[in-house]
Homo-oligomer: A and B are copies of this chain.
Amino acid sequence: MARSASALRGQILESALRLFAVHGFRGTSLQDIASDAGCSKASLLYHFAGKEKILTELLTPARDALATLLDRVAGLAGGRLVEEAVTGYVDLALRYRREIRLLFEDIAEMSCHQDLGVLELADGLLDALAGRSQQAPARVAAWMVLGAVFITSATDDEVAPDEVLRAEMIRSALRTLDHTPS
């Protein structure tokens, strides 16, 4: 049944990306990918030296795109630097959305499989951060604050002392939400 090499390889990568994005990397077995791609598990390991290599190949384009972006802004400074970095990063993140999603699915599955709905709570927080607005700009900004605080909190403490970190996070978040102090 031997298809041309590139065909099955591509199919495997496609299946892997989709399954990883749904069940996470650890939540997807080689057999899952093989079944989805319509080949045997052994065939997977003929094309890829191991499960990790599949992930590597999947993430490499995004990695390279990021490297390219950094090269492009290397010579810039000031306002231009920030603008280019931001737009470049946003475009890159949207382009490689599925790749990013696969990185998160593991933790999403973990948070949700809990007995207690964290999802509704997150929705509630989102509503509050958006000031109960249903408009897209407010919703997007609320999502961004949600993620920003979440990730920044997970950061190593070396970025700033706790008190500074707290104050700056609040100020940054309020700016993100376009909030004018009352």
**How far does the alpha carbon of A59 sit from the alpha carbon of B153 in the complex, in Å?**
15
What's the dominant secondary structure at chain A's contact region? Answer: helix
Minimum C-beta distance from A131 to chain B (A): 5
| Neighbouring B residues of A166 by C-beta, 8 Å | 90-91, 94
Contact A149 B154 (CB under 8 A): no
A38 at the interface (CB under 8 A from B): no
9-residue interface stretch from A3-11, A29-37, A97-105: A97-105
How many whole Å from A57's CB to the nearest CB in chain B?
10
Report yes or no: B121 in contact with A70, Cβ–Cβ below 8 A. Answer: yes
CB distance from A116 to the nearest CB of B (A): 6
Chain A interface (Cβ within 8 Å of chain B)?
25-26, 52, 55-56, 59-60, 63, 66-67, 69-70, 73, 77-83, 85-87, 89-91, 93-94, 96-97, 100-101, 103-104, 106-107, 110-111, 113-116, 118, 121, 124-125, 128-129, 131-132, 136-137, 139-141, 143-155, 159-160, 162, 164-166, 168-182
Contacts A70-B121, A86-B173 aside, 8 further interface pairs with beta carbons under 8 A come to: A86-B174, A86-B177, A90-B173, A94-B169, A97-B153, A144-B169, A147-B152, A172-B176
